[in-house]
Chain A
Amino acid sequence: MALWVDKYRPRELSKLDYHKDQAENLRNLCKQSDFPHLMFYGPSGSGKKTRIMCLLREMYGSGVERLRSETMTFTTPSNRKIEVMTVSSNYHLEVNPSDAGIYDRTVVVDLIKQVAQTHQIEISGQREFKVIVISEGDELTKDAQHALRRTMEKYVATCRIIISVNSTSRIIPAIRSRCLGIRVSAPSEPEIVSILQNTCKREGLTLPPELAKRLVEKSERNLRRALLMLEAAKVAKVPFTANQEIPDLDWQAFLRDTASQIISEQTPAKLEKIRERLYELLIQGVPSNLIFRGLVENLVNNCDMSIKAKTLEFATEYEHRMQAGAKHIFHLEAFVAQFMNIYKKFLSELVLTDDF
């Protein structure tokens, strides 16, 4: 029993649904004896991981699909134990160091060392290097990135690194210049529609075009989200109907609601309630920069341009500070307070002008 996202994930470069030219390029890359470090970049749900797996399969054969998950333990210099989950095959290892928080440096360095110091003993039929896939590389701290750069150079003989990032902005230039960048843009709307239709066909369902269109709109061109939504909708109701309800991402709905509460009342007491809601989101594990973005998107709707500009100015300022600070709630709260303040002033000015 697997989710549709995994079940219908293309396994080979030649079977990818979109960016076919790029797939061809990747195959070219595999044909050569040498192989550079790679950096796949693109928005969430655009198929980076799928492409990486296809690429690995192209290089090593179907052996890379025999996956196992393992929990590795690392010890930080301060003698703290951190556990990180990894997924690996005989040829590659996939790790997500962002869960290690500020200890990601240790994870990156130790992991690569462990992997890279073991040569492939049986060299026939294989490449002489293994591949380490680092997902969400843009969440790595600067410190970890510098460490990564050193280790990349040091162990270039025995391992290659594939980094998957959402945006290259957060990657230090030293790493950017050492990797071959592969841009994976989000699939276009028609592409998503056709993938959804195909999936339904293989499941023996029919998908009304209207529903498909709504799914695409709701998924924000995120293919993974679209497929998950489709499956969740199927669970709720089959056969599909054109106007059937599509389940919401609950944190987005929660955030929308929070924003409308901020608009409705601007008092310290309300701010306190908002704080509780923000805590709730953080506890759910929603990253704070997404909360920031969601708040801004939902808040600016019914303001005029000057308020919008001001809101964004504050948002950028506090979001930037949040990166430097440790308590994200402080900065989220500061932004909400600022917005309440300007919005309140804006409202009172409205009342004044109405009087005249």
Chain B
Amino acid sequence: MSARKAKWVKCAFSEMNLTSSPASSGATPAKRTRRTGSLSELSRTQTENSSITQNVVDLTSSENDEEPPPAISENWIEGFAPSSSEELAVHPKKVGEVRSWLLHCEAVRKKFPAQICLLTGPTGAGKTATLRVLAREMGYQVQEWINPVDCEVVTVLGDQPSGSGYVGSHFEAFKSFLLRASRYKSLLVSQEKRLLLVEDFPNIFLGEGEASFEELLDDYSSYGKSPLIFIVADSKSRGLNISFRLFPEQLKAKHRIEHITFNPIATTIMQKSMKSFCSVMQKPHNKTIYKVPAQTVLESIVVGAQGDIRNALINLHLSSLLGVPSMPTKKLDVSVAATTKGRKTKAQSTLKSIGRDESITLMHAMGRVMNPKINDSKRLQHSPEGITESFRTEPRNFVNFIHANYLPHFKDIGDIVDAIHDLGLADCMLNEYRDDNLSVMGLNLAIRGAMLANKEPISGWIPVRGPKKIQVKADASLEEQNLLGVRYAAISKSLYATEYRSMVKLIAEKLKDSGQTTRA
């Protein structure tokens, strides 16, 4: 280690000498983006330097080679951004919807300038891209709200903002953005038409800000001067789903909010755009960075992305980014071959490494567990390991789901015995917190139990139910508590339920009745 370090230091010095030498600049690729120019030069000199020192020490050179210098611009993804509406990977119909809404805005611009639109859809469905492309084509200037990292407002008197003032200021800032940005245009921009975009919701609305948000929209529709667009990505849980919480139906109806829902990008379109990405990669200035991956890899990327084009693009970027291909070191080639090979084999199976986090959804997996398919070779079509793997982060939850749903799929009580036996065992294993592996084993056991125990599954559509949460009933009623007096506090819930409740209830009811009659 220390030896290596010493070499590093040495390298740094020798590099300094080299950068000043004019001989190195000859081989630099001509075109580079501004930012990366210096970087790549530096890295190139480093590699060259290493090739020089190679005969001196092998360690450093291999270290440098293994990590090819990132000669890509930071915003590489923009290089692939669609430049026209034809290039969009979104279904033309959706693009058309957005375009017609924008046209509609144009039409009523004089009378009702403050039109509001809501775009929803899964992540990576191309919502933002569509909007940006169309806005450019139609000559809109997009002004986007971005949450300020910190906004301290010092009041007129110079006081420090108080806690509540801080929250207020965030909200105020957003409000003034909405109302002012649409009215006053920037001096530097010549474009006439503006478009307000809110993708980044102020945090205050994520909590309990529904009412104030509605007020804000009321204000906006009466004073606003430009179309306003909200972009919201779908999320799984309802609590976090902004489109659901902030935009209830009546609000949409009130302000005639145009709601356009994007679908995940279809596989065929995705494949097409992958091809176009590849062609972008082959452009001369990109050639130094990318190597077009094999067709199988492309396919697996498309499958793994599940309609998320951004995800697909990132995967494509990573899988084709192999460093400068002209670098002729042997070691590099070997490692590259290994990685591509590895990726290929994975791609053919389930594509875990570059797939999305949860490549199968809960419902999907439930279906696989409840209706196990046996293939020709008498093996389960969907391996329990695969399912286990995708739910290893929340085994308890999945086991509860199995328990809530397995019964209707069974025909014979004898089979149930086996299944519930395994579920019970899994429960015990999951409860053992001292060993992490045990929880995965438990989950696996539960899944296998449910899949294999069922000899003749009942097929057909059976709705999936969520697991039941047991909330032990609240304490005794007030009358009952009064009857017991102070001692009530010392009686545990279970004791109360088993010994007291049935009788005390009767007595308390009677007492209440008699109390009412005497008062009457």
Whether the Cβ atoms of B511 and A1 lie closer than 8 Å is yes
Asked if A69 meets B488 with Cβ closer than 8 Å, knowing A99-B493, A232-B507, A330-B423, the reply is: yes
B330 on the A face (CB < 8 A):
no
Compute how far the CA of A275 lies from the CA of B403 in the bound complex, rounded to whole angstroms.
11
* Stretch in A29-37, A192-200, A264-272, A296-304 touching the partner: A264-272
Whether the Cβ atoms of A279 and B470 lie closer than 8 Å is yes
B interface residues (Cβ-Cβ under 8 A, vs A):
400, 403, 407-408, 410-414, 416-417, 420-421, 423-425, 427-428, 430-432, 468, 470-473, 482-504, 506-507, 510-511
Residues in A with CB closer than 8 Å to B413 are 266-268, 271, 337, 340-341, 344
Whether the Cβ atoms of B502 and A250 lie closer than 8 Å is yes
A interface residues (Cβ-Cβ under 8 A, vs B):
1-3, 6, 44-45, 49, 67-71, 85-87, 94-96, 98-99, 135-136, 139, 222, 224-225, 228-229, 231-232, 235-236, 247-251, 266-268, 271-272, 275, 279, 282-287, 290, 318, 321, 324-327, 329-331, 333-334, 337-338, 340-341, 344
Instruction: Enumerate 22 A-B pairs (CB-CB under 8 Å) in ascending A order.
Output: A1-B483, A99-B492, A99-B493, A225-B503, A231-B507, A247-B502, A247-B503, A250-B501, A268-B412, A279-B470, A285-B497, A286-B494, A324-B431, A325-B427, A325-B430, A325-B431, A326-B427, A330-B420, A337-B416, A340-B413, A341-B413, A341-B414
Whether the Cβ atoms of A286 and B483 lie closer than 8 Å is no
Compute how far the CA of A225 lies from the CA of B503 in the bound complex, rounded to whole angstroms.
9
Residues in B with CB closer than 8 Å to A271 are 407, 413, 416
Distance (whole angstroms) from the CB of A187 to the closest CB of chain B? 16
Q: For A71, give the chain B residue with the smallest CB separation.
A: B489
Residues in B with CB closer than 8 Å to A1 are 482-483, 511
Whether the Cβ atoms of B503 and A229 lie closer than 8 Å is yes
Residues in A with CB closer than 8 Å to B424 are 318, 321, 325, 330-331, 334
Whether the Cβ atoms of B490 and A327 lie closer than 8 Å is no
Residues in B with CB closer than 8 Å to A232 are 502-503, 506-507
Residues in A with CB closer than 8 Å to B430 are 325-326
Whether the Cβ atoms of B473 and A285 lie closer than 8 Å is yes
Q: For A326, give the chain B residue with the smallest CB separation.
A: B431
Compute how far the CA of A271 lies from the CA of B411 in the bound complex, rounded to whole angstroms.
11
Q: For B503, give the chain A residue with the smallest CB separation.
A: A228
Whether the Cβ atoms of B489 and A283 lie closer than 8 Å is no
Contact of A87 among B432, B489, B504 (CB under 8 A): B489
Compute how far the CA of A333 lies from the CA of B407 in the bound complex, rounded to whole angstroms.
11
Residues in B with CB closer than 8 Å to A250 are 501-502
Whether the Cβ atoms of B400 and A327 lie closer than 8 Å is yes
Q: Pick from B417, B503, B504 the residue with the most CB of A within 10 Å.
A: B503
Given contacts A85-B490, A321-B427, 14 further A-B contacts (CB under 8 A): A2-B484, A44-B495, A94-B490, A247-B503, A248-B502, A250-B501, A271-B416, A321-B425, A324-B431, A325-B430, A326-B427, A330-B423, A333-B420, A341-B417
Residues in B with CB closer than 8 Å to A251 are 497-498, 502
Whether the Cβ atoms of B498 and A87 lie closer than 8 Å is no
The 4 closest A-B pairs by CB, nearest first: A285-B497, A69-B489, A228-B503, A85-B489
Contact of B498 among A99, A272, A286 (CB under 8 A): A286
Compute how far the CA of A247 lies from the CA of B413 in the bound complex, rounded to whole angstroms.
36
Residues in B with CB closer than 8 Å to A283 are 470-473
Whether the Cβ atoms of A272 and B490 lie closer than 8 Å is no
Compute how far the CA of A275 lies from the CA of B487 in the bound complex, rounded to whole angstroms.
34
Compute how far the CA of A322 lies from the CA of B489 in the bound complex, rounded to whole angstroms.
28
Q: For A85, give the chain B residue with the smallest CB separation.
A: B489
Whether the Cβ atoms of A247 and B483 lie closer than 8 Å is no
Distance (whole angstroms) from the CB of A44 to the closest CB of chain B? 7
Whether the Cβ atoms of A235 and B507 lie closer than 8 Å is yes
Whether the Cβ atoms of B496 and A327 lie closer than 8 Å is no
Compute how far the CA of A272 lies from the CA of B417 in the bound complex, rounded to whole angstroms.
13
Whether the Cβ atoms of B497 and A44 lie closer than 8 Å is no
